[in-house]
Amino acid sequence: MRYLSTRAVGADDAKPFCDILLEGLAADGGLFLPEEYPRLDAGTLEQWRGLLAAEGYAALAARMIGLFLDDIPASDLERLTTAAYTGGKFSDPRIVPVSRIGDGPLWLGHLSNGPTAAFKDMAMQLLGELFEYELARRGSWMTIVGATSGDTGSSAEYAMRGREGIAVVMLTPAGRMTPFQQAQMFSLTDANIVNVAVDGVFDDCQDLVKALNADAAFKAEYHLGAVNSINWARLVAQVVYYVSCWLRVTDGPGQEISFAVPTGNFGDICAGHVARSMGLPIRRLILATNENDVLDEFFRTGVYRPRSSEQTWATSSPSMDISKASNFERFIADLYGRDGARVRELFDAVAEGGSFDISGTPEFEAVRTSYGFVSGSSTHADRVATIGRLWREHGVLVDPHTADAVTVAEQYVADEPVVVLETALPVKFAATIEEAIGCRPPVPERFAGVEEGPRRVVDLPNDVEALRRLVVDTVGSLPNLVR
Ligand SMILES: *Cc1c(COP(=O)(O)O)cnc(C)c1O
The mean pLDDT of 252-267, rounded to a whole number, is: 97
Q: Give yes or no for residue 322 having a pLDDT over 90.
A: no
Can you tell me the distance from the alpha carbon of 426 to that of 249, in angstroms, rounded to the nearest whole number? 24
* Ligand 1 centroid distance, CA of 234 (Å): 13
The mean pLDDT of 140-168, rounded to a whole number, is: 93
CB distance 106 to 420 below 8 Å:
yes
* Ligand 1 centroid distance, CA of 435 (Å): 22
pTM above 0.85, yes or no: yes
Question: What pLDDT score does 11 carry?
Answer: 62
Can you tell me the distance from the alpha carbon of 350 to that of 363, in angstroms, rounded to the nearest whole number? 18
CB count within 10 Å of CB 185 equals 25
Q: Which residue has better confidence, 195 or 176?
A: 195
Q: With a 6 A CB cut-off, is 401 part of the ligand 1 pocket?
A: yes
SS3 of the chain: the string is CEEEECCCCCCCCCEEHHHHHHHCCCCCCCCEEECCCCCCCHHHHHHHHHHHHHHCHHHHHHHHHHCCCCCCCHHHHHHHHHHHCCCCCCCCCCCCCEEECCCCCEEEEECCCCCCCECHHHHHHHHHHHHHHHHHHHCCCEEEEEECCCHHHHHHHHHHCCCCCEEEEEEEECCCCCHHHHHHHHCCCCCCEEEEEECCCHHHHHHHHHHHHHCHHHHHHCCEECCCCCCHHHHHHHHHHHHHHHHHHCCCCCCCEEEEEECCCCHHHHHHHHHHHCCCCEEEEEEEECCCCHHHHHHHHCEECCCCHHHCCCCCCHHHCCCCCCCHHHHHHHHCCCCHHHHHHHHHHHHCCCCEECCCCHHHHHHHHCCCEEEEECCHHHHHHHHHHHHHHHCCCCCHHHHHHHHHHHHCCCCCCEEEEECECHHHHHHHHHHHHCCCCCCCHHHCCCCCCCCCCEEECCCHHHHHHHHHHHHHHCCCCCC
Q: 439 phi and psi, to 5 degrees?
A: -150, 170
pLDDT digits 0-9 by tens, 372-396: 999 999 999 999 999 999 999 999 9
Question: What pLDDT score does 178 carry?
Answer: 81
Question: What pLDDT score does 286 carry?
Answer: 98
Q: How confident is the model at residue 23 (pLDDT cuts 50, 70, 90)?
A: confident
CB count within 10 Å of CB 200 equals 19
Can you tell me the distance from the alpha carbon of 150 to that of 249, in angstroms, rounded to the nearest whole number? 32
- Name the closest-CA residue to atom 1, ligand 1: 319
Cα 330 from chain centroid (whole Å): 14
The mean pLDDT of 184-203, rounded to a whole number, is: 93
Pick from 133-137, 348-352, 473-477: least confident = 348-352
Residue 428 φ/ψ region, left for φ over 0, alpha for ψ in the -120 to 50 degree band, beta for the rest: alpha
Q: Which residue has better confidence, 201 or 119?
A: 119
Can you tell me the distance from the alpha carbon of 234 to that of 231, in angstroms, rounded to the nearest whole number? 6
* Ligand 1 centroid distance, CA of 267 (Å): 8
Q: Give yes or no for residue 455 having a pLDDT over 80.
A: yes
CB distance 231 to 31 below 8 Å:
no
Q: Which residue has better confidence, 412 or 351?
A: 412
Cα 258 from chain centroid (whole Å): 19
> How many degrees, rounded to 5, is the angle at CA 272 between CA 83 and CA 57?
25
Q: Which residue has better confidence, 476 or 11?
A: 476
Among 111, 116, 119, the mutation site with the greatest number of ligand 1 atoms within 8 A of its Cβ is 119
CB distance 322 to 294 below 8 Å:
yes
Domain-wise residue ranges, the chain = 98-117+232-437
- Name the closest-CA residue to atom 7, ligand 1: 267
> How many degrees, rounded to 5, is the angle at CA 334 between CA 330 and CA 338?
100
Which one is catalytic: 15, 120, 219, 428? 120
| 98-117+232-437 classified as CATH 3.40.50.300 | no
- Residue 120 annotated as catalytic: yes
Question: What pLDDT score does 163 carry?
Answer: 95
- Strand order across the beta sheet in which 458-460 lies: 224-225, 142-147, 166-173, 193-198, 458-460
- Name the residue type at position 254: G
Question: What pLDDT score does 12 carry?
Answer: 66
Among 177, 265, 422, the mutation site with the greatest number of ligand 1 atoms within 8 A of its Cβ is 265
Q: How confident is the model at residue 268 (pLDDT cuts 50, 70, 90)?
A: very high
Question: What pLDDT score does 65 carry?
Answer: 98
Pick from 26-35, 79-88, 441-450: least confident = 441-450
pLDDT digits 0-9 by tens, 277-305: 999 999 999 999 999 999 999 999 999 99
- Name the residue type at position 236: V
- Between the alpha carbon of residue 120 and those of residues 81, 99, 100, 156, 157, the distances in Å are 16, 20, 23, 8, 11
Q: Give yes or no for residue 25 having a pLDDT over 90.
A: no
